[in-house]
Structure 1
Amino acid sequence: MTVAVLDTGVDAHRDLSPNLLDGTDVIPGGAGDGRRDLNGHGTAMAGLIAASGQGGGAMGVAPRSKILPVLVTPASGSGEADALADGIEYALSNGAEIINISSVGGTSQRLIRAINMALAANVVIVASGGNRPEDSYVGYPASEPGVIAVGGVDKHGNHAAISVTGPQIDVVAPAVEIYSTGVNGGYRVGTGTSDATAIVAGAAALIRSKYPNLPAEEVAHRLTATAIDKGPPGRDDEYGYGVIDLVAALTADVPPLGFETPSVTTPPASAAEKDNDTARGLATLGVLLAAGGGYLVWRRRRRADDPPPRISR
């Protein structure tokens, strides 16, 4: 699968280079191929998705996927809505099957059109819900209908304090002290819904690989239908439909949308059972969650003059 990473660019790290395509730089005045990263954020997201493991240091969730790097955010971390629209259009015209947007920010009519054009073209879009305290509600484009909105859980599988909540959250994934590839051949540990989003994008790539004819909305349905329920029974604003369970998403017999059997429901699990299920789901991701003596908090910063995100679900 080809996963477009719309971010600060992606360094040609030894763990990424076997899977790293030539991309583009859509920042005004930019003329590169997306294979540079002065911030480190985009390189970390790409590693969580598709680090090959061939460099000996990191392996992503979908290590045979290809990364299409699209530099839409400068090193300062403040991106423009129309630059993101440019990036989506580029990804769409260059064969991306999944688009990862580990950021929130302002919107524009052009960005809304680009998002909906990609969704109409059967592309899976995964976006981060946002990080507290800078964000107090689910940001754009995660709030756009059809986009998979991702929140975060901590190392115990509980709601991560940094993760925003809201009715748009679809699923959650690990978001605290996540290790991945970094710039200049190094590695990085970060905390935020950005990391959770990249993990979910990797999961979407594996689902599309196993089920190549599955429409984008059914890929999302597989993730939500097999997620491990947390919090109140059913969907809630902290966990969405639950913590992604990659093995279940790839192997479960999931009825298509519209053919679910609402009369057959699983009895509510006890707290201990939920904790055990969550531990199993986290283990299937192959993500190292051990504490590393501190972490860097990576947040996508919203410009003060950006319009507020449009909440539309």
Structure 2
Amino acid sequence: MGLRGPFIASYALLALSVPAAAPTPPSPLAGASALIRQEQWHLDFLNTPKAQSISRGNGVVVVVPDTGVDPHPDLRNNLLPGMDAIPGGSGDGRKDLDSHGTSMAGLIAAHGQGGRLGALGIAPEAKILPIYDSLPNGKGEPDDLARGIEYAIANGADIISISSVGGSSSRLRQAIRGALDANIVIVAGAGNLPRDQTVGYPASEEGVIAVGGVDRAGQHAAISVTGPKIDVVAPAVDIYSTSYGGKYSKGTGTSSATAIVAGAAALIRSKYPYLPAREVAHRLTATAIDKGPPGRDDEYGYGVIDLVAALTADVPPLGFESVSAPAGAGPTTTAGAQPGGDSDGATVRGLATLGVIVAVGVGWAVIARRRRRGDDPPPRISR
């Protein structure tokens, strides 16, 4: 059975514990939740506040197959019980000894703790369905991921966010195709240099949205793999999110970019509930901000995702109706998707994110599901 590759995102686990009830008097960590929101530069970069005035992901279920997801204070209201695809977890996916899965979930759907406190995800009203399929040491088989995807298909998934790359198996390929056939959007990370040299699996699978990364200036992130299968890019450098034990993390890699794009897909699926998955993907690519040479290129794909345009632009549809739309619902492309609806769009690939995680007091390299995680010495990230 082939190895499944690593998550490639360098993460620094910040020693900023946020207990459920704030102690009195405040501890030195009391300002952590406010600090994290200020450090989430990608939110303003993507004009997230305006996008969230249009859609917040309500009614959408995003599956996160990863190291499990810890019930962080910024995630508790939208963390569903999931499943363990491998032994050793809590049985329902809601335990994370690594931090990677919790970080990805937070980028998608963290709701913070009110006002400007806590981490905020792209789609804070979406639900996260966690799948524990990768051990803290990065080991996991392709069939473990396949098992999680099969569970997602059977349990109402709208989106699957895969922040890892690596080998495949007949069962995994069948599961990926089954999810696409079931009208599920799959987003996967492309991979991280230097370990990965080409877009990995399942990002390379036709129909999956393959995600690369950009830096704070909107330029190609040096860590991001390039290639003809890149569909879109998103912020991938110095990305702050949730972590286990009420802490927060800082990461760099296409893992983060993948989760951010999954959040964008959740905003679209919430606004246009009858839009086919292929058209959700098309809307992301058709409204992306072109970078590099005109048109699609190997560094940026179709460009940097534009949350507001993806929710409001008049995008020519692919020309088919959603099989899931109830009778009498009207057209599912664009204007008919919802009151005040816009157009919809197309097909992309899948973003697999890789990550090597560096913890304060905790050493971790990101998920390699036998699928390895990166072995390279993880960078030390200082604030």
Query: Per the shorter chain, which TM-score range?
Result: 0.7 to 0.9
SS at match of 1:100: strand
Q: Is the alpha carbon distance of 1:105 and 1:183 closer, same or farther for their aligned partners in structure 2, counting shifts above 3 Å?
A: same
Q: Deviations over 1:96-148 (max 9, x none)?
A: 10000000011001000000000000000000000111111100000000000
Shift of 1:79: 2.0
Partner of 2:179: 118
Distance 1:302 1:240 in 2: 26
Distance 1:192 1:254 in 2: 30
Provide TM-score, normalisation by structure 2.
Answer: 0.68
SS at match of 2:93: coil
Q: Is the alpha carbon distance of 1:76 and 1:200 closer, same or farther for their aligned partners in structure 2, counting shifts above 3 Å?
A: same
Q: Deviations over 1:186-226 (max 9, x none)?
A: 10000000000000000000000001111000000000000
1:1-313 pair list within 5 angstroms: 1-28=60-87, 32-54=91-113, 56-257=117-318, 299-301=366-368, 303=370
Distance 1:160 1:251 in 2: 28
Distance 2:299 2:143 in 1: 30
Shift of 1:300: 3.8
SS at match of 2:250: strand
Q: Is the alpha carbon distance of 1:304 and 1:122 closer, same or farther for their aligned partners in structure 2, counting shifts above 3 Å?
A: closer
Distance 2:108 2:73 in 1: 15
Distance 2:246 2:140 in 1: 25
Give the 4+ runs in structure 1 shifted more than 6 A: none
Distance 2:231 2:365 in 1: 21
Q: State the identity %.
A: 72
The structure having more radius of gyration, on CA atoms, is: 2
CA contact (8 A) 2:161 2:186 kept: yes
Distance 1:148 1:186 in 2: 30
CA contact (8 A) 1:229 1:243 kept: yes
Distance 1:297 1:179 in 2: 17
What stretches of structure 2 of length at least 5 have no aligned partner? 1-59, 321-359, 373-383
Aligned residues between the structures: 271
Provide TM-score, normalisation by structure 1.
Answer: 0.83
Shift of 1:299: 4.5
Partner of 2:331: none
CA contact (8 A) 1:190 1:297 kept: no
Shift of 1:53: 1.6
Q: Deviations over 1:34-63 (max 9, x none)?
A: 000010000000000000123631110000
SS at match of 2:274: coil
Distance 1:72 1:160 in 2: 28
CA contact (8 A) 2:74 2:118 kept: yes
SS at match of 1:191: strand
